[in-house]
Structures are given as structure tokens and as C-alpha cells.
A and B are shown apart, each in its own frame.
Chain A
Amino acid sequence: MTALAYETYHLGLRTTRRFLRVPANWMSIIFFPLIQLLIFSQLYQDVVQLRGFGGESDYLDYLAPGQVAFAAFMAVAWSAYGLLVEFRNGYMDKLRAAPIRRWSILAGEMVPLFFQAAAMAGVVLIVSLLLGAPLETGVGGFALILILAGVFGIAFAGASFIPALLTKSEQATNAFSLLLFPIVFMSTAFVPEALMPGWMQTVNDWNPITFLIEAIRDLMASGYDWGAIGKALLSLGILGVILQAVTLWAFHRLAR
């Protein structure tokens, strides 16, 4: 465990530096979630008049928590790109030939993802607040939301890393990320469950993104709902263990 922490720290320093040294990454952190939030809140501003919204007056207030989670989701979409580049240029071989745990190599690759997911969620959150969305829990809630977004990034990382390791192709990995977008649309990010068709409500009941969104929604609109936060962490934990295990398996396959 200490070995894993030591190795992840040193490898994570490298991948975080790598992330920060590419100017384009700053663009994706700041502008993408911003544009997304502004467009959706304007485009759909009248949907709050639908019955299912239950008297909400401003769509932005409803949309903001979902967009915070969506931003973390977007962070995951391209996260295995660095791994693929380093697989191709052989740097991954150098790490694989080093006397370190295989999981540390993956964990090191995922460290910037934690910060990226938290940062992208943070940008959406700040802009939402500036546009008038509430945050009842203040600074503590703000920090907790960023941590939840970061945890989501790590838990969901396999969605990008598994196809990347199995196909070793950027195109296939990107294509697979696109296939995952419906997961967000089948959550409570855009509309409440009451407005969904029956089968989608069933999907939604098991959707980890919904648990994340609802925890954030409570932190923003009402207060610390530890039940909702616990459910979000539990569902992300289960998702994370499964996806990380499959990712590790896919990583070991490289030795074939």
C-alpha cells in the first residue's frame, strides 16, 4: 500500500506536469464546460414550465448540478489519450520495465484526471453561481462537490482506459466515449425522473451519474444530505472497483 502510494505520487507528479504543460488542456478545462453550460441553460430555459419540474422557476438552478457532473464526465472522455500516446512512443514500455506495481502505472495516469474532473466541475459551478444558482452549503459544499467530481473521474476512468488498452487506437477510444453520452442523457442531468419514459426511469434508478447529480443538487439547493452523498460515494465505489479491475486486466494483456 505504501509502495502504491509512493509510486503513484511520483508518477502522478509527472502526468500532472505533462497535463499542465500542454496549453490546449487549459482550454478544455475552462472553455468547454462553460460553453456547454451557457448553451444548455439558454436553449432549454422554458422547459421548467413543464409539470415534472415541480415549480422550479429557473432552469439554470435545475441544470447546474447536472452540468457540474457532465463536466466531470467530459474530463473522463479523453483521459486515456496520454496513455495511448505513451504506449505508441514506447514510454509505457519504460514504465512497464521498471520495478513498480502495474496498478501504480495506471493510477499515475489517472492522477491528473482527478484534478481535471474537479477543475472542470469547479468552472461550471463558479459560473453557475455567478449566473445566480444557489449554493446553500457554502465553501464546505463547494469543496465537497469538487471532491465528488474528482472521485467520479477516477471511478469512471475505466470507460476511457479500457477501450484504449484493448484497442490501442485513439479513434476507437473516442468512438467508445461517444457511445457513453446517453448515460448522461438518461440521468437527471437535464430533466427530472418524472418526465422520463418508464424504461428510462429504470435505467436512471441504477445510473451512478444520477446519484452523483442528486448529491450535488442537494448540496447546492438545500444542505448536507449525507444519505445522498453516501449513495453517490457507494455507487461510485462499486463502479470504480469494477472498472479499475477490468482496466488492470486489460493492462496486463499488453504482455501477450
Chain B
Amino acid sequence: MKTINSRWTLAVLVAVLAAGGAWANNLQITNVTVSGRDNTTALVEFDISWENSWRYTNINHDAAWIFFKVLPDGRSDWEHVTLEGTGTNPTDYAIGAGTPIEMIVPVDRVGMIVRRSGEGAGTTAVQNVKAVWNIASNSLSNTDKVKLQAFGVEMVYVAEGAFKVGSGGTGVSEIYKYPTATEPYVITSEDAITVGTADGNLYYASTAYGGDRGGPIPAAFPKGYAAFYCMKYEVTQGQYKDFLNALNRDQQAARCTATTLNYYMTVTAGGSANIPNRNTVRMTEDPGSPSRRVYTTVTRDRACNWLSWADDASFADWAGLRPMTELEYEKACRGPMEPLADEYAFGASTYTVISGLQGVDGSGTEYYTAGNLVVLGSAPDGPVRVGIFATAASSRVSAGASYWGIMELSGNVWERPVTIGHATGRAFTGLHGNGLLTSGGDADVTAWPNTTATGAGLRGGNWATASTSLRVSDRGNTAFVYAVRASHSGWRAVRTAP
């Protein structure tokens, strides 16, 4: 009997390892501590690991964007942490023990990039990583006490270089090089781009939501030529839940409709009593004003829907990121590859519908036996787990991945890039969020499209739209002013490479 039990235990263990270990990306930040350094700074220490990381010198690498929030004793709101020092491995930063990494702190010091320091692939696991926090920026001294949160987002590096926009296919208002509607336009720098009808200009057909064909596209507008980091996945429900729980009560009310106990986030004021389109983020504890509400989810790895443009922008500002532009969107999908007419983000013009769900839906380990696109007619009535098509041995096409390794840029939930098809969008300069929101919970970064969503648009389709809208170069909704929360509206953010 004892032998049988041991065998069962071993079998279960093997199954767990096979299902969870080998396939996971599983970014983990643990053992966060803070200790003194001097009168104006403190050391923040943590362990970090994630699987399937890589650094291919001739292609790109992945990374984690790390930022911190602090709750000083005696204060009620979580505050953003400003780091000390800039550049690669600044003074007193420690790369810890384990996989060799490097830490890059950008000049705005709102967070840092952690990535492999050398060529290689596999699991990155490091203990006792140390960053330096400028405590004076939070009006704290070394006699104060605090609690600290560390947040990590998996990012993918999109390298600097020329690329093409438009596929030469049948997509709505695809960009092309005037006058040949089937010739993609080549972006070779971050210089201003003329939009018009002179030979060689960037141009596109006039459609309802394809944009105003106005220009020029200023030099300050991020065009994708310069390198940037893109979130590997769409914002998940776990991610959004953690975001909500770090806001104050007023900000929470602006960023989530679920203000009724045990109701789920949706578009309806107060929330929904039932799970709306597979979003399980709900308010499960309300200690009463002025204390913040508590949100939970049981599907932390599922893409988050029911997000408005204002929700998206607020999340990006809070996390020290920014919206991507629609030109960056095409670069994130296609990379430097020659466009394929009517291609999807995984570099093919055909796709396989999903089927054969395995495992417990929402558990974080579920997968489909077939399929690489979450699209109308094949999906459940809402988004699925992010990265659901990637396996231990998947290819770009089977993983539904972009050239760079970014997941689900076609399908699942909408992407919301800044458009070139509206003057407000063209005024976007690519400033990053500083981690601070308004008291009302909105983003307040200069030249970002405001809460009306004018200047933003939709790309990449979603689980509830026809497959044509999921194509990389389809611009049928690229200038659609769409401020509302919807069952298919999600998002991801980027950050210009330091």
C-alpha cells in the first residue's frame, strides 16, 4: 500500500512538473526587503526569476520591467518609488547571485530594466538583486518605516532598425508608399514623415475610421525605428487586480466599475453580479470610506477585458510605461521581415482556430491542442489566457508570436495604439508615465490622448471580431474614437529603450 502511494505521488509530481514547469514563463519576484543606505537612500533587495528568457545578440532579448510602490507608516496611499542613479548597474546596485544580469535605470528613474547580460536562453533566476531607492523623493528619512511592493512585467526588446508598414494586401486603409497602393512604406529613421500624394509619401485610403490622412507625422512621434520594449503579453486580470489594489479608494472607483461587494468589473456602474465575458476581477472586501477596496480574481493569467482607454492610460502612467503607436505596433509584429500580404502577427496569412481545451480553464495551465488565434467564431465568450499557444517547443506560427516573440498581437483583446490618423494622435511625443496619477485616478502625461480617447485607436482585432481586423496592417479602426469599456477591449504598453 505504501509503495502504491509513493508511485502515485511520483506520478502526480511528474505530471505537475510537465504541465507547469516546462511550459511556464512564470515571472516571480520574491523576498522583497528594504534596508538603510544613508540619509537619503535605501537599498531594495529581491529575488527574481522567469523561464524561457533569452538574449540573442543578433536578434533581441526579453527583460523584466521592475518598479516599486511604497506605503510609509502613517500615510494611507501607495506612492511611486524613484530610484537613485542611472545607466547600467549604477553605484551600489547588485546583480545578485545566479544568472548573470544587468540592470538599466533610465534617466527618469521610475523603474529599471532587468535582462540577461550575455548571450543565452533558458531560465533566468537571480537572488539578492539590489536597487537603490531615493527615499528623499518620497519625503522620507532613515528614521521612517515603510512597506514596499515590487512589480515586474515581462517585456520584449524591439530592436532599432528600418521596417515596412502596410502589407500590400486587402486590409482597410493599409499604409502604402504613394502612389502604389500595394507597396509598403519603408520607415528608415525617426525623422518626420510627410503624409500626402506626392511620389514616395506615406498614404492610405480614406475610410470611416482609417484616419484623416493628415500630416506630417512629427519627428517626436515614435515611429518604431528606434528601439523600444513592448509588454510580452496583454494586461492580465491578475495584473489589473494588483493595479487596483495599489490605488486609493477614489482612484479605484475611477478605474473599476465594481463598487458593489462581490460584483465583477464590467461597463455597468456598480459592477456585475455575474462574471461578464470571462473577467473574474471583483471587489471582495470593502472596509468603508476612506479605506481602499480589495479586488481579487481567480483567473490571474487571462487577458483583461472591460478596459477603457482611460483605464489603459492610467495603468501605463502608474507603471512608468506609455502607449505604443500604430507604427510601433506594426514593427512589434513584423520586425524587419518583408511584409506578407494580409498577414497576422505570427507572420502567416492563414490561421488555425482554437480547439481541444485541456486542463482547468482559468487555472493558468490550460491550453488548446490546436489553434493559434483567438478570433470570432472560435473563442469562448471572452479572452483566454495570455501566451496560451506557446509551448516548450512551439514555433513562431504555432505560438501565435510576433517576429520578436511578443504574444497575441493579433486577436484575444484589442490593442489600443496612438494613431497617425488624427492630429491629437500625431501630437503624441512618447513621454513615459511617472508612476503618479491624478487624485481622480487618471493619467496626466503631457500629449497623451486624454480620457476621451481622441487620438487613440484600435489595432489587432479581438476574440469577438472578424479575422480580417486581426491582420497586422488592417487599419479599419485605427482612428476610431473608442473611449468606452467593452468585453473585448484590453491593452498593452511599451517603453522606449533607455
The reply to whether chain A is a binding partner of chain B is: no
